[in-house]
């Protein structure tokens, strides 16, 4: 099953939490799935759907690196059974499109090393040295400048 970009739509912060828990924080309490900024003005959450089933998520926050302007991508995840079928790419494209529609700017994320190739294929570049997020492993910061649409 391949992703249809039309099956990407905004969802609520509450709707992303079960998939965050299952994919990103399976060994932690459900309370760890509520991220700072989830309900902040300007934050948006996207869901990828296979029929009625939510199979992928991504959250965007108005948060620049080092306190400057920009957009932070966080909590991006897809169910294991749909990985490699385009749902993640469609979610990331929706995030880039949203940033462009909102006037553009830097889009960045903390990327797990295993995901660097995925983000590079979408045009993001590594902009930091590797660093360890305790409990989550090695990461790098990746970023791309998104032009205004």
Binned at pLDDT 50, 70 and 90, residue 3 comes out as low
- What is the pLDDT, as a whole number, of residue 68? 79
With the CA atoms of 142, 63, 10 and 7 taken in that order, what torsion angle do they form, in degrees rounded to the nearest 10?
A: -10
Q: Output phi, psi for 33, to 5 deg.
A: -90, -5
The C-alpha angle 80, 72, 15, rounded to 5 degrees, equals 50
Q: What is the pLDDT of residues 124-142, one digit of tens each?
A: 999 999 999 888 889 999 9
Q: Is the pLDDT of residue 17 over 80?
A: yes
- What is the pLDDT, as a whole number, of residue 141? 97
The C-alpha angle 49, 110, 147, rounded to 5 degrees, equals 75
C-beta atoms surrounding 7 within 10 Å: 15
Q: Is the pLDDT of residue 1 over 60?
A: no
C-beta atoms surrounding 31 within 10 Å: 9
Domain ranges in the chain? Answer: 5-109
CATH of segment(s) 5-109? 3.40.630.30
Q: What is the pLDDT of residues 28-52, one digit of tens each?
A: 899 999 999 999 999 999 999 999 9
Q: What is the pLDDT of residues 81-108, one digit of tens each?
A: 998 899 999 999 999 999 999 999 999 9
């Amino acid at each position: 099953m391949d992703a249809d970009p039309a099956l990407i739509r905004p969802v609520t912060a509450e709707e992303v939490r079960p998939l965050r828990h299952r994919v990103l924080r399976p060994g932690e309490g459900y309370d760890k799935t509520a991220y700072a900024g989830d309900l902040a003005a300007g934050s948006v959450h996207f869901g990828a759907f296979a029929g009625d089933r939510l199979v992928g998520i991504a959250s965007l926050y108005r948060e620049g690196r080092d306190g400057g302007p920009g957009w932070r991508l966080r909590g991006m995840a897809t169910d294991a059974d749909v990985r490699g079928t385009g749902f993640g790419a469609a979610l990331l494209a929706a995030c880039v499109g949203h940033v462009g529609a909102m006037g553009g700017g830097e889009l960045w994320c903390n990327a797990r090393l295993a995901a660097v190739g995925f983000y590079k294929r979408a045009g993001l570049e590594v902009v930091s040295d590797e660093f360890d997020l305790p409990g989550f492993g090695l990461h790098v910061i990746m970023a791309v400048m998104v032009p205004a649409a």
